[in-house]
Structure 1
Amino acid sequence: MTPPDDGPDLAHRRPEGVGDTTVAALGSLSKALETTERARGHLYGFHQLTGTADLELDRAVELLTEAGHPDWAETVRTQVLGRNVIPGHWTFQIVEDYDATYYEPFKEIERAAVEELAEGREHLHEAEMKEARRTVGHPDHTARPGPGEGSRG
Structure 2
Amino acid sequence: MNEPSGGDLTDVEREALHEVELGVEHLHRAHGHLVAFHHSTGRAMDHLATAERRLREAGHEGAANRLRDEYLPRGVLPACDDEAAAGRWSYDVLETFQATFLEDAVAFGEEVHDRLADGRRHVAERQQEREWKARAQDGE
Q: TM-score, normalised by structure 2?
A: 0.82
In the other structure, the counterpart of 2:5 is: 13
Checking the alignment, whether the CA contact within 8 Å between 1:54 and 1:82 is kept in structure 2 is no
In the other structure, the counterpart of 2:115 is: 116
Give the RMSD, CA atoms, in angstroms.
Answer: 1.9
Higher relative contact order structure (alpha carbons within 8 Å, sequence separation ≥ 6): 1
Deviation at 1:91, TM superposition (A): 1.1
In structure 2, distance between residues paired with 1:31 and 1:66: 52
What do residues 68-116 of structure 1 show as CA deviations (whole Å, max 9, x unaligned)?
A: 2122111111111121122131111111221222111100010011011
Q: Which has the higher helix share?
A: 2
- Aligned residues between the structures: 128
In structure 1, distance between residues paired with 2:64 and 2:96: 33
Unaligned runs of 5+ residues in structure 1 are 1-8, 138-153
Secondary structure at the residue paired with 1:10? coil
Equivalent residue letter for 1:24: E
Q: Detail structure 1 runs of 4+ shifted over 6 Å in the superposition.
A: none
Checking the alignment, whether the CA contact within 8 Å between 1:13 and 1:121 is kept in structure 2 is no
What do residues 5-60 of structure 1 show as CA deviations (whole Å, max 9, x unaligned)?
A: xxxx433621x632221111101110111111111111111111111111111210
Q: TM-score, normalised by structure 1?
A: 0.75
In the other structure, the counterpart of 2:84 is: none
Percent identity between matched residues is 30
In the other structure, the counterpart of 2:54 is: 63
Checking the alignment, whether the CA contact within 8 Å between 1:12 and 1:122 is kept in structure 2 is no
In the other structure, the counterpart of 2:42 is: 51
In the other structure, the counterpart of 2:30 is: 39
